[in-house]
């Protein structure tokens, strides 16, 4: 009988789900706070159910000899070392949609609290004071709310704000005009949002691109008297810069539910008169906690007893029977999406996925989900195979799937076409007998290229000297080229190059390459080649 450890607090109903589905469960809700005891116990379990208190580190994973699945009751998996889990073949699941309404409502509540200084006025009144003239708030009706990140939670906030008669401007790289129209919001670039918004609320995951999105430079572009709400992730706002702006009066108020370091027991934002702080309560309602607890118990029990995979971060939803044949094509679909996702900066309007030959008979639903997850992941790091199609739909991306009989030399391949307002990008790939995915066509140019962890993709006109230029610049900066693939559509026409590098290319090297007029574009790429 499979055995699960619950190391954080879950509802009794969730614990009962494990028992009724044939899973032995140990409910030890405080164990996650004791690293040493958890480390000594983890080797006895097939599953680990957690919230945010338990830290699933590489060290813990190394000691988890039996562990097959980690289930996070909630959306955020910042407390799980996903690469380490993937290397050990441990599935990491989350519950991406159970607390969306709750988190959105908390953001709206913080907006009201900051606008009317409710917490401070409450404290003053309880203290026996009657400082009616001290707490002069502002109306939100007619004000402009800037929503950074208009996905699952951000879109709910936007709809609530529209209902409150606010004008909503939204920035999200994946938000289409159609979806913006459905929500009743105005789609803008980030800089314009900063300049126009009276209130700003953040609803984006913490990634390399979003870390510190609200910093001193961003605040300088904002209106005087702006109010900032962050119920998403600590690190999106540079706290020191926010404190400085609050004290200077540039920012009139802030509502902060998440912090750079948590638990936050000492923080420079504390005790500022125009700041409302809460201890990461975004998902803390009875309804949300119950929903995510039940979901994670059901998902883990189904996996441990039936082999069903649902809402996995590091594995698509695939039945146990089809997994061996499908797995390498899932990886192929992911890297095709990841390639386009990393070279595309403008909003995506349309996605077409062509399944040719043998691939048309496979579980194309899983392959579509894998492609979309790879496509979206450069912007939304916690996307998974289940949430990716929903996120694409929310952003108004038009998705089409085409199946056809074998049409070329390959038994089966996948071709991805992505359209934006300005460009159309295409890439195709297949899996050879060695089980490794390969690119076989980029921009209509045929080639045969394996996928490496660190790569550089360049485009240029087909003319002499490009190979020498790329090699010379890399050599001058100590960048080792492990492999090199070239392709062109015709002599003197369009040409591309894929360089396999031993490590990520440095920004200054990339800038130098882009400075050469022979190089039309140069994009760094990174792929997960594990598994």
**Which residues are 353's β-sheet partners?**
401, 416
- Please report the domains of the chain, with CATH numbers, ordered by start residue: 3-97+287-314 (3.40.50.720), 100-277 (3.40.50.720), 316-442 (3.30.1330.90), 451-531 (3.30.70.260)
Point out the catalytic residue in the list 105, 262, 352, 453: 262
The full DSSP string for 352-416 is EEEEEEGGGGS-HHHHHHHHHHHHHTTT-TT--TTHHHHHHHHTT-EEEEEEE---SSSSEEEEE
Which pLDDT does position 531 carry in this prediction?
Answer: 59
Q: Is 461 in a helix, a strand, or coil?
A: strand
Name the pLDDT band for 236 (thresholds 50, 70, 90).
very high
Q: CA-CA distance, 528 to 83, in Å (whole number)?
A: 9
Question: Looking at 106, 203, 227, 280, which residue is catalytic?
Answer: 280
Among 257-266, 312-321, 387-396, name the one with the lowest average pLDDT.
312-321
Distance CA 475, CA 454 (A): 16
Please give the biggest Cα pair distance in the chain.
85
Query: Rounded distance, CA 13 to CA 511, Å?
Result: 56
Task: For 155-187, write each residue's pLDDT tens digit.
Answer: 999 999 999 999 999 999 889 899 999 999 999
* pTM of the complete model beyond 0.95: no
Q: What is the pLDDT averaged over residues 201-218? A: 93
Is the model's pLDDT at 388 over the cut of 70? Answer: yes
Interval 28-86: pLDDT, tens: 999 988 999 999 999 999 999 998 899 999 999 999 999 999 999 988 788 999 888 88
Annotation says 490 is catalytic: no
* 50: nearest Cα among 30, 65, 68: 30
Separation CA 463–CA 70 (nearest Å): 52
Convert 497-508 to b/e letters by CB count within 10 Å (16 or more is b). Answer: bbbbbeebbeee
312-341: pLDDT as tens digits: 888 766 765 676 788 899 999 999 999 999
Q: Which two tokens stand for residue 183?
A: 């929500």
Distance CA(437)–CA(275), nearest Å, equals 51
* Predicted pLDDT of residue 191: 97
Q: Is-catalytic flag, 233?
A: yes
Q: What is the mean pLDDT of residues 9-20?
A: 93
Which one from 72, 179, 203, 233 is the annotated catalytic residue? 233
Residue 155 DSSP one-character state: H
208 band by pLDDT with thresholds 50, 70 and 90 = confident
Closest CA to 298 of 100, 97, 95, 103: 95
Tell me: cis bond preceding 263? Omega within 30 of 0 counts. yes
- Contact call for residues 214 and 237 (beta carbons, < 8 A): yes
């Amino acid at each position: 009988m499979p055995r699960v450890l619950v190391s954080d607090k879950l509802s009794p109903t969730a614990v009962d789900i494990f028992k009724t589905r044939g899973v032995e469960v140990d409910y030890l809700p405080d164990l996650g706070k004791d690293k040493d005891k958890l480390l000594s116990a983890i080797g006895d379990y097939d599953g680990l159910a957690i919230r945010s208190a338990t830290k699933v580190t590489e060290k813990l994973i190394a000691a988890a000899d039996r562990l097959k699945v980690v289930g996070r009751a909630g959306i955020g998996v910042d407390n799980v070392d996903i690469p380490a889990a993937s290397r050990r073949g441990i599935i990491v699941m989350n519950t991406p949609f159970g607390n969306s309404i709750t988190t959105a409502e908390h953001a709206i509540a913080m907006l009201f609290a900051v606008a009317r200084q409710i917490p401070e006025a409450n404290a003053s009144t309880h203290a026996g004071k009657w400082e009616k003239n001290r707490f002069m708030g502002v109306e939100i009706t007619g004000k402009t709310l800037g929503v950074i990140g208009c996905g699952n939670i951000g879109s709910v906030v936007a709809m609530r704000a529209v209902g409150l008669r606010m004008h909503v401007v939204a920035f999200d790289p994946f938000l289409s005009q159609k979806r913006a129209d459905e929500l009743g919001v105005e789609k803008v670039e980030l800089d314009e949002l900063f300049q126009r918004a009276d209130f700003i609320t953040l609803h984006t995951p913490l990634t390399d691109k979003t870390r510190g999105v609200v910093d001193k430079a961003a605040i300088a572009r904002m209106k005087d008297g702006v109010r900032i709400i962050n119920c998403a992730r600590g690190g999106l706002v540079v706290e020191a810069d926010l404190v400085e702006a609050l004290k200077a009066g540039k920012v009139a108020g802030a509502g902060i539910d998440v912090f750079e370091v948590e638990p936050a027991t000492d923080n420079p934002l504390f005790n500022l008169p125009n700041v409302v702080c809460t201890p990461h309560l975004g998902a803390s309602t009875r309804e949300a906690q119950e929903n995510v607890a039940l979901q994670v118990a059901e998902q883990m029990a189904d996996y441990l007893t039936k082999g069903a995979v649902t809402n996995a971060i590091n594995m698509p939803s695939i039945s146990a029977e089809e997994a061996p044949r499908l797995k390498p094509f899932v990886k192929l679909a992911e890297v095709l999406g990841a390639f386009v996702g990393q070279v595309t900066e403008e909003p995506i309007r349309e996605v077409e996925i062509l399944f040719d030959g043998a691939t048309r008979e496979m579980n194309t639903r899983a392959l579509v989900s894998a492609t979309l997850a790879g496509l979206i992941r450069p912007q939304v790091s916690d996307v998974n195979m289940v949430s990716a199609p929903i996120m694409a739909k929310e952003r108004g991306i038009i998705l089409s799937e085409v199946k056809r009989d074998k049409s070329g030399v390959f038994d089966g391949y996948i071709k991805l076409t992505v359209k934006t307002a300005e460009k159309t990008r295409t890439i195709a790939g297949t899996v050879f007998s060695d089980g490794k995915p390969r690119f076989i066509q980029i921009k209509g140019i045929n080639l045969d290229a394996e996928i490496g962890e660190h790569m550089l993709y360049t485009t240029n006109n087909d003319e002499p000297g490009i190979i020498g230029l790329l090699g010379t610049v890399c050599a001058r900066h100590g960048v080792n080229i492990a492999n090199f693939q070239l392709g062109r559509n015709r002599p003197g026409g369009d040409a591309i190059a894929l360089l396999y590098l031993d490590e990520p290319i440095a920004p200054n090297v990339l800038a130098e390459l882009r400075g050469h007029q022979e190089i039309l574009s140069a994009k760094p790429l990174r792929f997960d080649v594990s598994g």
